[in-house]
Structure 1
Amino acid sequence: MTTLQYLAGYPAHIQQQVSQLLEQGKLAQHLTKRYPHLHDIRTDKALYRYTQDIKNTFLRKSQPVTKVVYDDKLTLSHQALGLHSYVARQQGNKIKAKNEIRISAKLKVVPEAFLRMLVVHELAHLKEKEHNKAFYKLCVYMEPDYHQLEFDLRLYLTLIETKLNPYQVIS
């Protein structure tokens, strides 16, 4: 049985179902049937616009986001697909603060729903720094299917771990 590190917090019966789908070779098919199309947001500029559109729809009055980029250094081994950082720098008598969002470059070739879930997650950190009840309530406000998308993204990560990427672009 494959270790299901991305599903460790889920009940045993869920993990068992996922293991069975993996063993039967049906997990990739399950995801591609549910999410057949990849997004076309490939550049940092497009990612910034995409993020700003979501922010302006749901968090118009929150702090501005100064930078949104795909980051090659965010890896699955660190279990981080996105990173929100608040950077404060002192310049003379002024303190300049920046909110930056970094999204793993591994998410350049996935369904838009997965990218949206992660962008929503990182944007929620503008208002709620901790992963608490208010944080997840905000995530669900911005993306009603947030919890399902998070679970499905974990299924995708499980497939990647077993070297079965259903969205791999063949060149």
Structure 2
Amino acid sequence: MKQRQINYLNGYSPDLQRQAAELLEADRVGALLLKKYPHSHALSNERALYDYTIDLKNDHLRSSPPLSKVIYDDKIHVINHALGLHTFVSRVQGNKLKAKHEIRVSTLFRQVPEAFLRMILVHELAHLREKEHNKAFYKLCCYMEPDYHQLEFDLRLYLSHRERFGDLW
């Protein structure tokens, strides 16, 4: 039997993809994720999201540039592999160059476990210091969230489950 392609796990080893595909085919992913992450977060409004993000930034990246906006954005489509976006906008105001940093999180993540949302925010905050997805970038992500790689995998597994079976939380 040929296994279905799992869009969100393309960068992982073939063995890990095979295991994930077997779990998905047996409809066991949902139960595993619900056991590990039983509740969704309570950060449903943008003010709470902004405050939570600023707390993360202040804990780990105090000297980084300030954030002007952190919002849920319904224009971000996870199917295009974007979970969130960090945007940097420069504008000339008089004789000064003003920079604004914004983080936009897909509205899909209004109802996921806090750990998943934190992983996305850590990823976007890391872009304040490291623009590219390089070794230094992922080292910074792991500094801010020691379980970063496991959370990213679990989130991608959830997205694969959601695509096939629907929401969990």
Q: TM-score range by the shorter chain?
A: over 0.9
**Partner amino acid, structure 2, of 1:23:** E
The residue aligned with 1:127 is 129
Separation in structure 2 between the aligned mates of residue 49 and residue 98 of structure 1, nearest angstrom: 17
The residue aligned with 2:94 is 92
The superposition leaves residues 93-132 of structure 1 with CA deviations (integer Å, 9 ceiling, x where unpaired) of: 2211100000111000000000000000000000000000
Report if the CA contact (8 A) 1:84-1:122 is conserved.
yes
Aligned residues: 167
Q: Where do residues 59-78 of structure 1 align in structure 2 (5 Å cutoff)?
A: 59-78=61-80
Q: Where do residues 10-25 of structure 1 align in structure 2 (5 Å cutoff)?
A: 10-25=12-27
TM-score, with normalisation over the residues of structure 1?
A: 0.95
Residue of 13, 26, 29 corresponding to 1:27: 29
The superposition leaves residues 44-63 of structure 1 with CA deviations (integer Å, 9 ceiling, x where unpaired) of: 11100000000000000111
Using the TM superposition, give the Cα deviation of residue 91 of structure 1 relative to its aligned residue in structure 2, in angstroms.
1.8
The alignment status of 1:48 with 2:62, answered yes or no, reads: no
Residue of 120, 124, 134 corresponding to 1:118: 120
**Partner amino acid, structure 1, of 2:133:** H
Query: Runs of 4 or more off by more than 6 Å in structure 1?
Result: none
**Partner amino acid, structure 2, of 1:73:** K
Unaligned runs of 5+ in 1: none
Using the TM superposition, give the Cα deviation of residue 37 of structure 1 relative to its aligned residue in structure 2, in angstroms.
1.1
Report if the CA contact (8 A) 1:28-1:164 is conserved.
no
**Which stretch of the first structure deviates more once superposed, 6-15 or 144-153?**
6-15
Report if the CA contact (8 A) 1:107-1:115 is conserved.
yes
Separation in structure 1 between the aligned mates of residue 60 and residue 99 of structure 2, nearest angstrom: 21
Using the TM superposition, give the Cα deviation of residue 92 of structure 1 relative to its aligned residue in structure 2, in angstroms.
2.1
The superposition leaves residues 62-115 of structure 1 with CA deviations (integer Å, 9 ceiling, x where unpaired) of: 111111000000011211010001100112222111000001110000000000
Using the TM superposition, give the Cα deviation of residue 166 of structure 1 relative to its aligned residue in structure 2, in angstroms.
1.6
The residue aligned with 2:106 is 104
Separation in structure 1 between the aligned mates of residue 165 and residue 32 of structure 2, nearest angstrom: 16
Separation in structure 2 between the aligned mates of residue 87 and residue 139 of structure 1, nearest angstrom: 23
Report if the CA contact (8 A) 1:86-1:98 is conserved.
yes
The residue aligned with 1:9 is 11
Separation in structure 2 between the aligned mates of residue 2 and residue 153 of structure 1, nearest angstrom: 19
Separation in structure 2 between the aligned mates of residue 166 and residue 37 of structure 1, nearest angstrom: 9
TM-score, with normalisation over the residues of structure 2?
A: 0.96
Percent of residue pairs bearing the same amino acid type = 57
